[in-house]
Amino acid sequence: MSCHSESTEKPNNRKNGKKLTIALAGNANVGKSVIFNQLTGSNQIIGNWPGKTVDRAEGSLCFENHEISVIDLPGIYSFSTFSLEEVVSREYIAKEKPDIVINVLDASVLERNLFFTLQLIEMNAPLVLCLNQIDIAKKKGMIIDKQKLEKALGVPVVLTIATRGEGLYELIESAVKVATKDTKRKKINYHKDLETRIEKLTQLIETEKIDLEYPSRWIAIKLLEGDTEIIKLVKSKSAKIVDISYILSQELSTIHDEPCFSIIASERYAYASMITSSAIKQNEVKNTFSEKLDWVTTHKVFGYFIAIGVITGLLLWTFIVGDFLSGLISEGLSFIEPLDPQISGPIVSIIWNGIFNGFVAGVTLVIPFVIPFYFLLAMIEDSGILTRVAFMMDSIMHKIGLHGKALIPLILGYGCSVPAIHACKIMESRRERLLAAFAITFAPCAARTLVILGLVGVFLGPIWALTLYAVDLILIFLLGKIAMKVVPGKSTGLIMEMHSFKVPSLSVVSKQTWTRTKSIIFMVFPIYIIGSAIVQALYALDLLTPISNVMSPLTVTWLGLPAITGILLILGVVRKEFILLGAVAIFGTTNLLGPFNPVQLITLALVAMLYIPCLSTIIILIKEFGWKAATTISIANIISAIIIGGLAYRLLEIIL
Partner 1 sequence: MEDYLKVVHKISREEEVASTTKISKALRVAPASVTEMLKKLAEKDYVKYSPYHGTTLTKKGLKIAEKTARKHRLLERFLHDVLKIDNIKVHEQACEMEHTLSDDAEESLCRFLKHPDSCPDDGKIIPPCDLKISSCAECVQLHKRGLEEVGKHKQNLISINKLKDGQFGKISFIRGGHKVLQRLLDMGLTPGTRISVLRVAPLGGPVVLAVRSSKLAIGNGIAKKVFVEIEE
Ligand X SMILES: Nc1nc2c(ncn2[C@@H]2O[C@H](COP(=O)(O)OP(=O)(O)OP(=O)(O)O)[C@@H](O)[C@H]2O)c(=O)[nH]1
496 binds partner 1 (CB under 8 A): yes
DSSP letter at 73 equals P
Report how far residue 596's alpha carbon sits from residue 586's, in angstroms, rounded to the nearest whole number. 13
32 binds ligand X (CB under 6 A): yes
Give the CA diameter of the chain.
Answer: 91
The two beta strands, 19-26 and 66-72, are parallel
Phi, psi dihedrals of residue 503, rounded to the nearest 5°: -75, 120
Q: Which residues, 6+ apart, have CB-to-CB distance to 366 below 8 Å?
A: 446, 520, 521, 524
How many residues bind ligand X (CB under 6 A)? The answer is 27
Shortest Å distance, C-beta 198 to ligand X: 29
Contact in structure between 522 and 556 (CB atoms under 8 Å): no
Residue 61, Cβ neighbours under 10 Å: how many? 20
Report how far residue 207's alpha carbon sits from residue 199's, in angstroms, rounded to the nearest whole number. 12
48 binds, among Mg ion, ligand X, partner 1, none (CB under 5 to 8 A by kind): ligand X
- Give 305 or 522: the residue with its C-beta nearer to partner 1: 305
Task: Tell which one of 109, 144, 158, 162 touches ligand X (CB under 6 A).
Answer: 162
Site for ligand X in 476-515 (CB under 6 A): 502, 505, 508
Report how far residue 555's alpha carbon sits from residue 539's, in angstroms, rounded to the nearest whole number. 19
Give me the 134-153 binding string for ligand X, x by CB under 6 A, dash otherwise.
-xx-----------------
Report how far residue 385's alpha carbon sits from residue 391's, in angstroms, rounded to the nearest whole number. 10
38 binds ligand X (CB under 6 A): no
Task: Tell which one of 391, 438, 442, 528 touches partner 1 (CB under 8 A).
Answer: 391
Region class of 461: left (phi > 0), else alpha (psi between -120 and 50), else beta: left
Cα 248 from chain centroid? 42
Task: Tell which one of 53, 113, 513, 555 touches Mg ion (CB under 5 A).
Answer: 53
Nearest CA to 14 out of 56, 58, 66 is that of: 66
- Give 161 or 439: the residue with its C-beta nearer to ligand X: 161
Site for ligand X in 70-99 (CB under 6 A): 74-75
112 binds, among partner 1, ligand X, Mg ion, none (CB under 5 to 8 A by kind): partner 1
409 binds ligand X (CB under 6 A): no
Give me the 2-41 binding string for Mg ion, x by CB under 5 A, dash otherwise.
------------------------------xx--------
Shortest Å distance, C-beta 259 to partner 1: 5
R_g (Cα) of the chain, nearest Å: 29
Residue 624, Cβ neighbours under 10 Å: how many? 17
Structure-derived torsion over alpha carbons of residues 533, 534, 538, 539, reported in degrees to the nearest 10: -30
Burial class (CB in 10 A: 0-12, 13-18, 19+), 565: buried
Shortest Å distance, C-beta 79 to ligand X: 15
108 binds partner 1 (CB under 8 A): yes
Report how far residue 251's alpha carbon sits from residue 256's, in angstroms, rounded to the nearest whole number. 9
Report how far residue 580's alpha carbon sits from residue 568's, in angstroms, rounded to the nearest whole number. 8
426 binds, among Mg ion, partner 1, ligand X, none (CB under 5 to 8 A by kind): none
- Give 42 or 266: the residue with its C-beta nearer to partner 1: 266
Residues that bind ligand X (CB under 6 A): 28-34, 46-48, 50-53, 74-75, 132-133, 135-136, 161-163, 382, 502, 505, 508
Residues that bind partner 1 (CB under 8 A): 77-78, 80, 82, 108-112, 115, 226, 250, 253-254, 257-259, 261-262, 265-266, 269, 273, 294, 298, 300, 303, 387, 390-392, 394-395, 398, 403-404, 491, 493-500
Residues that bind Mg ion (CB under 5 A): 32-33, 52-53
